[in-house]
Every structure is written in structure tokens, then in C-alpha cells.
A and B are shown apart, each in its own frame.
Chain A
Amino acid sequence: MLHNKSFVKKTKGGKVIRQVREHYLRDDIYCGAPSCTICNTSGARLSASPSTILVLDTNVVLNQIDLLENPAIDDVVVLSIVLDEVKNKNLSVYNRLRAICSNPMRKFFVFSNEYHRDTYVKEMSGETKNDRNDRAIRVASQWYQKHLGDAIKVLLVTNDKENKRKASEEGICAETVESYVKSLDRPDLLDLLVRPSSEDVEMEDVEDHRPSKRKIIYAEHKPMSEITSGLHRGIYHQGKLRVNRYNPFEAYVGSESIGDEIIIYGRSNMNRAFDGDIVAVELLPQDQWQGEKSMSIASEEDEDDDDVHLAPNSADVAPRTIPQQSSTGEINAGSGRPSGCIVGIIKRNWQSYCGSLEPMPIPGGSRGVAYALFVSKDRRFPKIRIQTRQLENLLDKRIIVSVDSWDRQSRYPSGHYVRTVGKIGDKDTETEVVLIENDINSRPFSAQVLACLPPLPWSVSSEDLSIPFRQDLRHLRVFSVDPPGCKDIDDALHCIALPNGNFDVGVHIADVTNFVFPGTPLDDEASQRGTSVYLVEKRIDMLPKPLTEDVCSLRSDVERLAFSVIWEMTPEADIISTRYTKSVIKSAAALSYVEAQARMDDSRLMDPVTTDLRNMNSLAKKMRLRRIENGALTLASAEVKFQIDTETHNPLDIGIYQIKEANQMVEEFMLAANVSVAQQILKSFPLCSLLRRHPTPTKEMLEPLLRVSAAIGLNLDVSSSKALADSLDHAVGDDPYFNKLIRILTTRCMSQAVYFCSGDLSPPEYHHYGLATPLYTHFTSPIRRYADVIVHRLLAASIGISKLPSVFQDRLQLTSIADNLNYRHRNAQMAGRASVELNTLIYFRTRPTDTEARVVKIRSNGFFVFVPKFGIEGPVYLTTRAEKGSGEWYVDEQEQKIKKMDGSFSYSILQTVQIHLEVVEPQPNRPKLQLTLI
């Protein structure tokens, strides 16, 4: 039997089209009762001789899916019309219902009433779609009753009064859910019953794309004119939105008009703003400012997503927490920090984001358009809705998505797919993700940049030698000491004993500015990149490879151009004179740290290079001692090193990087050169020098350290770097690792050193806290840091061999260069850490390990541990998510302990625990490292 359904439909283009679909009605759809004598019973699902068969209406399914999932409810006929309606209204309920239907233990039978010859109903004129569907349900119930005879009762379960009344009129048994469940005499089921407060079905989780059905979620953005006048009158405040990396529901707007950060809690207050947007904020009334309490709730929903990370090595990379005023006793009700909500967006900062799609079933045909939710790997960004026709290609991939719009009616912004990075979990893919996430430009160098390179192969020419200010130092015994396999050698040293007993010590730095001229595309590119990025097994260069590895690199046995700092030093390492010159050198040896160390340690070796090394080492030791006496901090961080399989490129072994004397020796001379150069350039250019400073940590920053030390009874004096250095030296416990651990904890309280333009700050602010020196800059690595390139130009100008480029006249521009360098530097560091984390994950994928760990932070449901052997840090949970807040454990803030309620067990800070490391995959394609107590 054939029926044609015809209906009108509006196309995307806005045209109204009449569509005709065939609809075949069949006589081979069976009732699903095994006792049936008429039907084929091979696919029957109902009980052999049920007393009652239930037919459900759509709203019952939508509201009572919990009840249906209870095994007490059985012998249910699910009509296809009900399935269709449920699918249109709530996909998650539909999937749950389908799961019940396909469960062989349950007696749920799907009856395709819409295709059955006797149960198909045609829409009557004037009948609404709902009425027609209700009628179809009644017709099907009636058919069942007639088909199965009087022995079996067919019960229509509906809460719709009208439907129930009509059913009774037509002679169908009908009941409401409540009365049916009551009749079962199972009080436990009554609890599962949802009593709808209104007739409406709640649809909070389903996004409905039909425009008429979308509701408004966000407040309207104010028009630009209103924002401008609001800013003028001081009701609105302008600033850049910064979302908390560790809690995306919390953001800050640094506002100059208030002089403080305004906190924005929750998505609706953030009102569709993205991290980095310039926004206009309106302060909330003071009584709505949220104190510490509500904050912890806000962060709680994400608490369990904490992953294992590398131990932070400075305050900048550690999770940000708002200074907790209340915990230190300064409870001041109602006066949390200023909170606000966003009323308008002045400038969007939409970029491309990297992440993956939320897992979802793949639609049938590949041409079918699918809506998918994209989850950015960086948690600061909301999910993004995209439309794609190639879902099957994208589901297991890391992809890039960019944002197109975000209107008030949609919970998530909509965007479009840009490109695929690669398969999730694949090492190359994840490495690229790390680069993208940290905004690192790993594109090949463009043609115009490469055009700036000197023709290859390059060698020192007679013109280079004939330049009057370039000194020929090829006769000197210069050598370099670097990590093994280093190709971008930017520094070399020499040390010659002078007849008067002093030493002639030189630091020779690759003369990059001889090849990179200001204002060229090459210079612009390097300035943008700011720094080379070092990942495990991969390096992203700041300068093109020919410069990095060949032309500039101070390789052994080839003549290279250099910029040299040459001191005359007494054997006590006092600097008598300093001079700076461009030079030509020829390195005699390129040593690795290990080689240099071995030479110095091998007393049989008496060759000139070894002697030089020993002389330098003894000078370096004296210089180091003097520095420490001045209050330089010896900080500790756990740097991890991998041994990589050459075939698979997977890590074979993992361990802490061992620092040798040779490393410290080279470091000492580099520090000295940097300090000397800083003095020189600042003397010549007091307003436009590029320096590096390390701010003194504030009291708040040291708070966590002090709390820990108080808990363990250690007295730390943080009044100055000297005092801190001394008290760190005295912090020795019974346990050999104790001192290192305290140093590691100290390190993470410090912020990082930053570049700045000398004209922007006053001289006392130039201070470098960690090195305890009043002036510092970067001069020694121009191949891999752009700051050094700038400093080279400043130094050359200060000794009168070249003119200062025009950039230096423009302080604003210089400041922005310094800001960019800080940004790039920080990103490079984050990327390096992420790369190590990635390799750690790959390493533990095949090697679950038991190891020792130290408790470093107490949480309400567990604690954070630091694993010294692998340099990682992560959460250990004492309670599962479900039991959270069950009150089994409580935290003693004073003693920094987490205790069991009955007092039988406790964990305290810095305690050693045994843990098990394992990679788990809670969601497909999302592996993570999990730490559990043994």
C-alpha cells in the first residue's frame, strides 16, 4: 500500500518548497508478543504471557526516563511515532530509550506503527500535529488490544488529560504514570517519578537550531556610543579580559580606572567575551561581590579535571589562585574583590583555536551536515559549535577552528573548521598542537626572509677582515662548551695567562647583527618570533637554518665573526679592565659539558685547552662565590631529560638533568658578560637600553611557602634575597632531599625575570632579585634570542662602531618590543614544558610505575604530590568525585594536613608517600596520567 506524504518546507535560501515523500505501509510488521498466533514471533521481545502491556506516550518518555530505566518496568511497547517525537525533542533521552530497547534483558518492543497498514493515521484537516500523533498512539493501542485479545490488558500510559479522556471514550484503558506506579505497589519506584512542576518539558541541554524555539541566554551588548559615554562617566571600565587558565568560569579585567582587577564570575557575566578581548565592564553592586566561599564552588566543578603537570618552576606557570584573604583571618564580609559583568566588547580577539570535537555518533551519509561541539585544548575558551560534512574524518583528529559569531540565543559561539592538525595522541600532532597553543610561529621562513641571507656557502672574506673595527683574534685559543649535539653555538671562550699573573679572559658571541640588519624582513621576522623554541627533539629557530647552524654558529675549526667581551682578571677574579670589540675568531674545539668536565677531572691531561679550562673553572668558582655572598639565590628546579629512541622517536628513559661544574663555569662567564654589557649600554643610552629585571617577590607570592614552612616549623627570613638565601642554606632536615624540596617550593613562588626598556622604569627597579645584581641584560645568545640582537646593536653603537637604528628613538615601540619578547619568552617556556609533559605521557603509556612522591599542596579531597624522579606534579584523590564532600576527610589549614574524620589517618605537607603512576583513558582519545596512592 502506498501513500504520499506531502508537506511544505522552507529551504536555507528562504524559498518555500513543496516536498513529496513516499510512505509505504506494510503488512509484515509484527506485534512482538511471543504468544501471538497471527504474527511472526521470531523478533518478539515481550514476555510469553504478560498480564499487561504498556503503551507510553511521548511526554511520559521524556519526563520519566529514569523510571523506565528501572527493570521493574517491563513489557512496554514503544511506538515509532513516540521515538520520532522524543528524538526531535531531546536527543539524550532518545539515546537512553534506544539503549533500553536494544538491551536483551529488558522487554521493550519497538512497534513501527507509522508503517503498519492498520495503525497509520492520516492527518485530518484542522488537526494539529500533536493531536494527530496522540491519535496515532491511541489507534496503535486500540490495535494492540484487538490484536492480542482480551487475555492481555493493553494500558496506555499518558499524563495528558485530553488524550486520556479520548482514550477512555474509544474504549482504551488509560492511566497516568502516577496511578500506574502506585498500582504496582512498589514504593521505591515512586521516588524515581518525576513530578513535573509544569506541563512543559525541560530542554536545557538540547540546543535547538530552529530560530523560533531558541531562547535568549545572554544579555545584549550595549551599543558603542553608550559604552563610550559610559566609560566617560565612569560607570563602565575598559580593560583586557584574562580568563583563568585553570578555571574558565573565572576571569579578570585589569582596569586602570579602578586600579585593580575586576573579577568576572561565570559565563553569563562574561557575556560572550573571549580571553584577550578588550571589554567594557560594569561593576556589580558591592553586596554581590563574591567572597572566597562562592569562588571555591565555582572552581569545584572543574577541580577533578586537574591533570598531572610538570612541577612549576616559577609563579608564572603555576595555577593562579586568588590570594585568600579569609584564610589568614582578615575576614571582611561582603568586601570580596570588585566583581563585574561585561556590558560590551570593544575589540574582539578572536583567533583560531586548537582542540578536538566532543565524541558523538557519526551520521549515516557523509553528505549529511552534522553539528558538532569543538572543545579547545586550552580551557580558557568556551566550546565552539561547528558545522561539518566530514565528521568521520574529524572525530579522532586535532583540528583548528575559528570563530565566526556568537549571538545571544546560543549557549556556544559558532565557528568553522579551518584545518586538521593530525590524529589525536600522535606525537607529531600533539607537538604541533603545543606550538599552536603557545602561539609559536613554526611556519617555514618566507621567501623574502630567505632573500636576506648571504649567499651560501659563506666564509669570512677579505672585506670582513679589512674593516678597521674588526679585530683579528684568529690566533687566540678559543673554544666552546655546550650541551651535546648543540648546533647553534652562540658563545665561545678563551682564557690566557698573562705575564703579570693576571688572566686575559674573553667571551665571544656570534656576531648575528653582521647578518641581520634592522628593518629587513629577516629582522622583522626574528623580532616577531623573539626566541628559538626548544622542544624535546625539536627546535623551532628564530633565524633561518643556514644562519643558525652555519654562518653564525661558532663551530670549531672555521673562521667566524664574533662580538667579544674581553676582561683582564686577577687570579682572584677581580675585573681590572673590560673592552668590547667585533672580531674574527677560529674556535679550536667545540666541547660538550661532559667532555669539558672529563678533561678537567682527568689529571693526566695537560694540553693547553684543558689548562685553560682549569684556569677558567677556578676563576668561575671565585666569581660564583662572590655572587652568592652578595645574596644571589641558588634556586632549584627539576629539569627533566629524556633519552629518545632513534627509531621510534619515543622516550626510552626519563630522568632529572644533572648539572655539572662545567655548566656552572660557562654560566658564570655568561652572567659576567651580560652584567658588563648591561653597564656599558646603560652608560651610553640611559633611556633606551633593553635590560632584564627580576622583581622582588611580594608577600602574597611567598605566602604559600611561608604557610608550608610554618607548618613544618621552619623559620624562613624573606626580608631580602640575602636573608632568604641564608635561611635556605640553613634549612637542612634529617632527610637529604629536604633542602632541595624547600628550594623547589621557593622557586615556584618567584615570578619570572622580564625584559624592559630602561626609560620606562627608575634605576632602583632595574634590580635583578635572583642574581642579586643591580643591572642585567641578555647579550650572550643572539642566535636564539632577539633581545640579545637588540643588545648587540646597542653595544655596537655605544662603542662607536655603528649608528643606533631609529627604533631606539621611539620608546613606545621599544616597550612594545620588550613586551613581545616577554610574551614569546614565556610561551617558549610553556611550550617546552608542554613538550616534556607530552613525552612523559608517552613514556608512561607503556610503563606503569610505582615511585616515591612528596606532598606539596593540601586540597579538600586529597593532595598534590611532586614526584622528584620524574619532575612531575599532580593530584592524588582520597575520595572519588561522587563521595566528594561526604565529610570523611577534613583539612587542617594550620598544620597543613588532611585528616580522616575519626583521626585514624592523616597526610601532612612534605610527607613522603608511595604512589602508582599510570596512563588512563577516561574518555576515548583523551589519555592522561593518573596518580594513585599505593
Chain B
Amino acid sequence: MEYVSPEGLRSDGRRPMEMRQIRAEIGAVSKADGSAIFEMGNTKVIAAVYGPREVQNRSQQMSDKALVRCEYSMANFSTGDRMRKPKGDRRSTEISLVIRQTMEECILTHLMPRSQIDIYVQVLQADGGTRSACINAATLALADAGIPMLDLVTSCSAGYLNSTPLLDLNYVEDSAGGPDVTVGILPKLDKVTLLQMDSKLPIDILENVMQLATEGCKAIANYIREILLENTKQLEYRRGS
């Protein structure tokens, strides 16, 4: 199978280093303290944040910092074949854990002791890169909820097919079984918090692919900043000042 043609085009018409179209929208769930929708091409996720609020299960309360919880799920209609997926399967349990620990890194939890922050992310439409899209959506939702953060966290994936590093794999490319590297960074600090990879790749090529994914994260960070700025302007405008 040819994933990159000799003319340098991918199966959906992108070039190897190009990301899909991204789109974000803040405030999708009115009940939530903060929420956002994030789209990367045909991948669409929604995130909602509740908190900081009282800890539900007292035994889990921590006196020095806030408790962060996260739940990842995929809507039944998110993929082509509409199959009832059991909740809490091994994959989503792991992704929930990964997203929670990634978001925890940027939240200033020590400012909110004895409280709890809940992050819910749901995949509405899956076309590759759902994990990254969820993290990006969660960042926006946390910002929308006004939760104090150290930095933004943004995430993007990259792969390696036909001996070419490819940014932001879609579903077809993802299921080719090639290496898939998902990176999550704190853009201002230029630090990597999330890094996941599978399949098989020599170390030096991995470095290139990782670099490409990091570039993608930075581009997303710029976009998210714009969106947040725009959103703040809107709020300001609505407040009428």
C-alpha cells in the first residue's frame, strides 16, 4: 500500500509535514464549569470540566493538593461500525490515566487543596489521533473553567510510513500498523510530559518523528492561544467594558 505517492502527497491530499484542519470551540456544555470541542480533520472530541469542587469520596481527599479525575470514552456512533463498546475496557482505562496525569502536570493543584477537579472527554467522531484531540480539548476546557494552570498542554501525533515521517495520522494511516508517536508538551517550558509510542523504530528515526510531533504540538498551542484570546475578547465584549 502506498501512503505517500512519489509526488509527495498522502492519500487525503496532504503533504507529509502537514496537519489536518483544526477547529476549536469553547463552551459547548452549558452546565459544565468549562467545556470545549476540538476537531482535527474528521476527529471530533468534546471535553467538559467540573470543579474545583468538594471531594465526593472523603477518603480520597488530599490536604496538600486537589484531586484530579478524568474519564475518557468513545461515543458508540464515533466509528463507522456502530458497536456497543463496554465502558472501562483496558484501552480507555489507560487513556483516562494518561490524560489525567498529563493534565495534572499543568494544573496548579497545590492552590486548591481538599478539592476535586473532574475532566470528562468523549470522542464524538474518530478518525485517528483521538488521544491528542482529547488533550487539546481538555486544555481548552480547563482554561474555560478558569482553573489555574502552569502552562497549556498540547498534543499531536506523528508516524512513519513509506520511510517518511508523517504528521498527524488519520485513521487509514494509523491502521497501517506503522510506528505511531504521540507527544504532549508544555509549549512555554518546552518540556515533554506525554510520550507514547508503539511498533518498531530505530532510535535516530524516532528522534526525527518525535521532533515532527513536537512541531505539531507547538502549532496547536499557537492556535489554542488565539482561540483563548478571541474567547476572552468576546467575554470582555459581552461584559460590556
Contact = CB atoms under 8 A, between A and B. Distances in A.
Contacts of A23: 12-13
A768 B32 CA distance: 99
Contact of B1 (A102, A112, A115, A364): A364
Contact of A24 (B7, B13, B172, B176): B13
A367 interface: yes
Contacts of B162: 364
A928 B161 CA distance: 35
Given A367-B176, A367-B177, A102 B41 contact: no
Interface string B1-32: 11111110101111000001100000000000
A364 B41 contact: no
Contacts, number: 74
Given A19-B80, A365-B177, A366-B199, A112 B5 contact: yes
Contact of B80 (A18, A112, A389): A18
Nearest to A389: B177
Which of B1, B3, B11, B199 has most chain A Cβ within 10 Å? B1
B113 interface: no
A115 B6 contact: no
Interface string A74-110: 0000001000000000000000001001100000001
B56 interface: no
Q: In the complex, which of the residues A24, A363, A365, A366 has the most CB atoms of chain B within 10 Å of its own CB atom? A: A365
B7 to A, nearest CB: 5
Contacts of A112: 5, 7, 9, 13
Contacts of A80: 5, 7
Contacts of B6: 98, 101-102, 110
| Residue among A23, A114, A115, A364 facing the most chain B CB atoms (10 A cut-off) | A364
B175 interface: yes
B13 A17 contact: no
B19 to A, nearest CB: 11
A365 B5 contact: no
A2 B3 CA distance: 19
A26 B18 CA distance: 12
Interface in A1-40: 2, 4, 11, 15, 17-26
Interface in B43-88: 80-81
B176 A364 contact: yes
B21 A363 contact: no
B170 interface: yes
B42 interface: yes
Contacts of A323: none
A496 to B, nearest CB: 72
B42 A20 contact: yes
Interface residues of B, number: 30
Interface of A is mostly: mixed
A388 to B, nearest CB: 12
Nearest to A21: B12
A871 B20 CA distance: 67
A368 interface: yes
Nearest to B173: A365
B1 to A, nearest CB: 5
B12 A22 contact: yes
Interface residues of A, number: 29
A24 B15 CA distance: 10
B46 to A, nearest CB: 18
B144 interface: no
Interface in A341-368: 363-368
B9 to A, nearest CB: 6
Interface string A101-136: 110000000101011000000000000000000000
B108 to A, nearest CB: 38
Most A CB atoms within 10 A — which of B3, B5, B162, B173?
B5
A365 B161 contact: yes
Contacts of B4: 364
A363 B176 CA distance: 9
Contacts of A115: 9, 13
Contacts of A110: 6-7
B15 to A, nearest CB: 8
Contacts of B42: 4, 20-22
Given A4-B42, A20-B42, A368-B177, A363 B80 contact: no
A897 B199 CA distance: 63
A308 B162 CA distance: 40
Contacts of A114: 13
B42 to A, nearest CB: 6
Contacts of A15: 81
Contact of B161 (A20, A26, A364): A364
A365 B178 contact: yes
Given A2-B21, A115-B9, A364 B2 contact: yes
A11 B127 contact: no
A32 to B, nearest CB: 10
Most chain A beta carbons < 10 A, residue from B12, B161, B172, B200: B12
Contacts of B11: 21
A520 to B, nearest CB: 49
Contacts of B199: 366
Interface in B182-210: 199-200
B13 A25 contact: yes
Nearest to A13: B81
Contacts of B21: 2
A22 B176 contact: no
Given A365-B178, A366-B199, A24 B3 contact: no
A98 B177 CA distance: 26
10 contacts: A17-B81, A20-B80, A21-B170, A22-B12, A102-B6, A112-B13, A115-B13, A364-B2, A366-B177, A367-B175
Interface of B: 1-7, 9, 11-14, 20-21, 41-42, 80-81, 127, 161-162, 170, 172-173, 175-178, 199-200
Given A18-B80, A98-B6, 13 more contacts: A20-B127, A21-B170, A22-B41, A23-B12, A23-B13, A115-B13, A364-B2, A364-B4, A364-B161, A364-B162, A365-B3, A367-B178, A368-B1
- Cβ-closest 4 pairs across A and B: A367-B177, A365-B176, A24-B13, A115-B13
